[in-house]
Amino acid sequence: MKKTILSVLFLMAATAVFAQKEMTFVVEGPENSYNQVRIVNETSQENFHCRVVVLNEDKTVKEVYGDYKLKEKGDSDSNTKGTKNERIQKGTPLAVKFPKDFKHELSFYVEYRDYPLFDVIVIHLTDKDGGYDEY
């Protein structure tokens, strides 16, 4: 019984560490496809890099969509793919990956924006422990 509990705790800890190196989601939003991915740094971290990748159904990396360099809180970076074949379709799994030496725990939320020339997936990175205090 103790081994089972320890195994479960170990798997939960391993999942938390793994989740920090990669945050995944499926593209939803109102549009059928998107031609830009923007990342906004809303964290307390400065000068870090991350990468957005397109995933296969089995969660392996299909292709790199783009690399992003974020300097300070409020900074954003974007990558655009213009042709119909390069657009990200609704229902596509994406992941935000961080370098191996990145030690900070972050959270994220996704927003979808429709502009005249761009349909944008906006990924907001936030501090994991951010939010409201309990009452």
Does residue 96 lie within any of the structural domains?
yes
Query: What pLDDT is attached to residue 98?
Result: 95
Does residue 109 lie within any of the structural domains?
yes
Sheet of 22-26, strand order: 22-26, 93-97, 48-55, 61-70
Summarize pLDDT for 18-41 with one digit per residue, the tens: 445 679 999 999 999 999 999 999
**Domain hosting residue 58, numbered range:** 2-127
* Torsion angle of C-alpha atoms 50, 56, 59, 64, degrees rounded to 10: -10
For 2, the enclosing helix (H) or strand (E) is: helix 2-21
Query: What pLDDT is attached to residue 22?
Result: 79
Query: What pLDDT is attached to residue 130?
Result: 60
Count up the domains in the chain and report the number: 1
Does residue 95 lie within any of the structural domains?
yes
Does residue 134 lie within any of the structural domains?
no
What residues in the chain have per-residue pLDDT under 70? Answer: 1-21, 82-85, 130-135
Query: What pLDDT is attached to residue 15?
Result: 38
Give the length of the chain.
135
